Amino acid sequence: MTTKHFACKADEVPQDAAKIVTVSNMPIGVFRLEDGFHALLNICPHKGAALCEGPVCGTTRQTDSTEFVYDRAGEIVRCAWHGWEFDIRSGEFLVDPSVKTRRFDVSVEGSDLYVHI
């Protein structure tokens, strides 16, 4: 069972970075993507760093040649410490999707943003 917790006002979440909140004693990053809001635990599964405080960016798409296709702009967060790349929607580490940070459902009611824990 998940419980809905108030996290912040929706308009406090910027476009290009996470809004860091503490909900139920848990550090959480809330992101604004084109398809809506997403929330990840702000703890990197690698070394426990503040994952969500790293840059929100894109990355190179896997290719079969020496071409650099910059892809998924705004959909990736790079951990603030060691730069591991995580999919903001799923919390999965790009190199090894079995490594992931916890993600939470988000809902908005009026101007209030809630995460479901």
Partner 1 sequence: MFIVDCDCHNYWCSATVLEPYMEGLFKDMFVRGERTGPRGAFPHGHRPWFHPEGFARHDVNPVEEDDNYLIMKAKHLDKYDIDVAILTGDEPIEASTLANPYYANALCKAYNDYLIDYWLPKDDRFWGSIVVAPQDPHLAAAEIRRLGGHPRIVQVLVSHGAARPYGDPFYHPIYEACAEMGLPFAMHLGGQGGINSTPIGAGPSTFFWETHAILPQTAMTHMASLIANGVFEKWPSLKVVVIECGVAWVPSVLWRLDANYKALRKETPWLKRLPSEYFKDHFRFSTQPLEQPENIQHLWAALEAMDGENTLMFASDYPHWDYDDVNKLHVPPAWREKIFGLNALDVYTRLPRPAAQAAE
Residues at the site binding partner 1, with contacts judged by CB under 8 A: 46, 59-69, 82-85, 93-96
Rounded least distance, CB 95 to partner 1, Å: 5
Rounded least distance, CB 73 to partner 1, Å: 12
* Cβ nearer to partner 1, comparing 4 with 61: 61
Structural contact between residues 49 and 81, judged by C-beta atoms closer than 8 angstroms: yes
* Cβ nearer to partner 1, comparing 60 with 107: 60
* Cβ nearer to partner 1, comparing 34 with 67: 67
Rounded least distance, CB 2 to partner 1, Å: 31
Beta strand pairing call for 103-109 and 36-41:
antiparallel
